[in-house]
Amino acid sequence: MAVPMAAADGRGAIGYRSTRAGSAAPVSFEAAMLAGLAPDGGLYLPVEVPQLPPGWREAGDLAELAALALPRLLGMGSAEVSELFADAFTFKVEVAHLSRDRHVLELFHGPTAAFKDFGARALARLLERSLARRSRRALVLVATSGDTGSAVADAFAGLEHCAVALLYPEGGVSRVQERQLLARRDGVAAIAVTGTFDDCQRLVKEAFLDPALAGLSLSSANSINVARLLPQCLYHLWGAARLGAEHETGPAVEVVPSGNLGNLTSALLAARMAGTEPTLVAAHNANDYFPRYLAGEARAFDFSASLATYSNAMDVGAPSNFERLAALLSAGPEVVLGASVSDAETLEQMRLSFAEDGYLACPHTAVGLRALEILRASGAVAGPALLLATARPAKFPEVVTAALGPGVADVALPGADAEQVEPRRIEPSLAALRDELLTLA
């Protein structure tokens, strides 16, 4: 039974329950955020998704949308929500209109040039607020295949109540991404793991359940944390509202370049808030567990090892949000389709988009564009499509050069000249991580 918890504006705050908890009592948003992973190893989901009020499409910006969509989910008053999100989202979301009714929602205009800035900047403010209210400190542990780490490091640097430890696979991120990860920042330690991203992600989950680390107040900034997913709902709604103004009902198809499936999960939550039923497309690279699961070719949780591809932020063999997504999908009317795109098709799509539309897409965005082509060609989807552009192409100069030759992506990224630190290096074992974290505390 749901325990009513009063939000600051007097409306009932919504509780959160683990995907594995069955009928256990729900916890507050703050408890779910601070814990990251539920004690039983499951992922938190709100027990209810509140409906947006009529007229939400007229909201002027993401902060205004936040004040309509999130107060009960965050257990905060709408004025405070609006203020927090106005402070977090200081950059624009742009829409690029391509040929054949394709509309690209550019989510990479934040400080680290990938969509992770949305979740990370909102989470930093939400966490800092909760910890300050409790006079507590926390160590935020984050596994990164590139973009999450720099977004979290940038968003959390210098906070009074949170320090950050970033785990990344040594040699598994691009040079630009590694420079961003190793920029000197107050309260942020970078740890290079001699393993894969899946190793990093597994180590984070193990560290959370390790009694020897209980004293560190670990928290997670990965998309296992529900507090990162909720802010991401806002740009899905924003895109649907912008394009709804041009099309009678808004785009029927939304394409999400996917790895850990956090962005897709937030798209699904956003559709529930809006009461719309778009066809969601999970666009994957060769790490295609989820498309195979959807096609009935892989069983639930029968994951594979990750493979290195050009769209490296999506090189995930065991998507951490699969458990949450599976729980949501079993209880809803949404249509989710999957497609898998090879490296050769990714490069070809980058060339094609540049030639056809003069549009330079990062490799992840190109996977989305190609996935749409595949599903349109097979007749699985039709009509206008909203595609998410998840990173700025200049973050991946090697791939842009492989597709289009030199000189196309030579744009300096923000912070490119930041002072660098040496990473700490560990083997992919919990014992090695434990030692490292205890020296940080």
Binding residues for ligand PLP (CB under 6 A): 114, 116, 147, 223, 257-263, 313-314, 364, 390-391
CB of 198 to ligand PLP, least distance (A): 13
CB of 394 to ligand PLP, least distance (A): 12
Pairing mode, if any, of strands 94-98 and 102-106? antiparallel
Pairing mode, if any, of strands 162-169 and 188-193? parallel
Give SS3 for 335. strand
CB atoms < 10 A from the CB of 428, how many? 18
Nearer to ligand PLP, 81 or 313 (CB): 313
Nearer to ligand PLP, 161 or 284 (CB): 284
The angle subtended at Cα 229 by Cα 1 and Cα 369, nearest 5°, is 135
CB atoms < 10 A from the CB of 6, how many? 10
Instruction: Please say whether the dihedral angle defined by the alpha carbons of residues 213, 219, 224 and 226, taken in this order, is positive or negative.
Output: positive
Closest CA to 387 of 1, 102, 166: 102
Nearer to ligand PLP, 26 or 146 (CB): 146
Pairing mode, if any, of strands 138-143 and 218-220? parallel
CB of 109 to ligand PLP, least distance (A): 13
Nearer to ligand PLP, 250 or 257 (CB): 257
Whole-angstrom Cα distance, residue 87 to residue 220?
21
Nearer to ligand PLP, 169 or 262 (CB): 262
CB of 268 to ligand PLP, least distance (A): 12
CB of 391 to ligand PLP, least distance (A): 3
CB of 176 to ligand PLP, least distance (A): 12
Contact 230, 74 (CB under 8 A): yes
Nearer to ligand PLP, 367 or 385 (CB): 367
